[in-house]
Amino acid sequence: MISLIKNRNGQQLAVYSFGDATQPAIIFSNSLGTDHGMWQAQVTVFAQDYFVICYDTRGHGKSAVIDNSTLTDLANDVVDILDHFNIEKAHFCGISMGGITGLQLGLIAPQHFLSITIANSAAKIGQETAWLSRADTVETEGLADIVSTTHMRWFSDKFDYIHDAIAQQSIQSLSVTPPKGYAAACRALAQADLREQISAIQVPCLALCGGLDPVTTVADGEFMQAHIPNCEIAVVDASHLSNIEAPQQFNQIFAEFIAKH
């Protein structure tokens, strides 16, 4: 079911819910340039036993494009979604941009979370200058160049992304992401650096890494495990969008982790 809700600033967020609302809740947060549809292989499995919420991060899918967004704004949107459903505590799982959003939630809204899974992400993703340059390029030239090469960043060579429906749908979602929305997210990521702060996170965390991920590496996961007091690490045999490339392995690791919390 889709709900078009307003966040605390009156901006539209597109939110999708699945399963029984009386069950424990999981909220999934998408990566840069994708939308809620990237979580299809997780929704199918987890909506049997959980109330599953996916949403389009601001500037993506059917959610509003909002300039001057920060990582704190991305995190506050998640809290606003939980408030909309009157959910006191949820399991959080975010990938890439969604993963660093989870770290920020662990710092500013820990009371809302039973666990936080940080998939294919890092306490700092990429370099500020590269993000700002990408934002400017996308705003002036659009996303076509990024779309044409994105499979090389998202998936490993051994994955047949051409014949995978969710992979194709995710590449399609990138092609229709508003350039201004994508650029605003790049600028939020440019400023996002939580390396000094994550040691304050008290929520149980899982750093779920892709062993073949060139973007956010296993070393990034090991850094989080070393600095967050209660953080496990797991590695799946996949590249950057590991939930799409290795869904069964991803789901099993995630299911075992949240079952403990």
Render pLDDT for 85-132 as a digit per residue (tens, 0 to 9). Answer: 999 999 999 999 999 999 999 999 999 999 999 999 999 999 999 999
Whole-number pLDDT of residue 136:
98
Whole-number pLDDT of residue 190:
98
Whole-number pLDDT of residue 135:
98
Number of residues that this document lists for the chain: 261
Confidence of residue 203 (pLDDT cuts 50, 70, 90): very high
Confidence of residue 226 (pLDDT cuts 50, 70, 90): very high
Fold classification of 2-259 is: Rossmann fold (3.40.50)
Q: How does strand 51-55 pair with strand 12-18?
A: antiparallel
Chain center to CA of 171: 16
From first CA to last CA, the distance across the chain in angstroms is 27
Q: pTM of whole model > 0.95? A: yes
Mean pLDDT of 133-160: 96
Distance CA 92, CA 32 (A): 17
Render pLDDT for 64-90 as a digit per residue (tens, 0 to 9). Answer: 999 999 999 999 999 999 999 999 999
Percent of the chain with pLDDT over 70: 100
- Any idea where the domains of the chain sit in the sequence? 2-259
Q: Which residue's structure tokens are 């076509």?
A: 144
Distance CA 103, CA 109 (A): 10
Looking at residue 260, its amino acid is K
- How many other C-beta atoms lie within 10 A of the C-beta of residue 46? 24
Let me know: does 30 contact 57? Beta carbons within 8 Å: yes
Chain center to CA of 157: 23
- How many other C-beta atoms lie within 10 A of the C-beta of residue 89? 15
Whole-number pLDDT of residue 212:
98
Confidence of residue 188 (pLDDT cuts 50, 70, 90): very high
Render pLDDT for 10-64 as a digit per residue (tens, 0 to 9). Answer: 999 999 999 999 999 999 999 999 999 999 999 999 999 999 999 999 999 999 9
> Average per-residue pLDDT in the chain?
98
Task: Find the DSSP H helices in the chain.
Answer: 40-46, 71-84, 97-108, 128-141, 144-154, 165-175, 179-190, 218-227, 242-245, 247-259
Mean pLDDT of 179-195: 98
Distance CA 194, CA 51 (A): 30
Whole-number pLDDT of residue 176:
97
Whole-number pLDDT of residue 13:
98
Whole-number pLDDT of residue 173:
98
Distance CA 167, CA 6 (A): 29
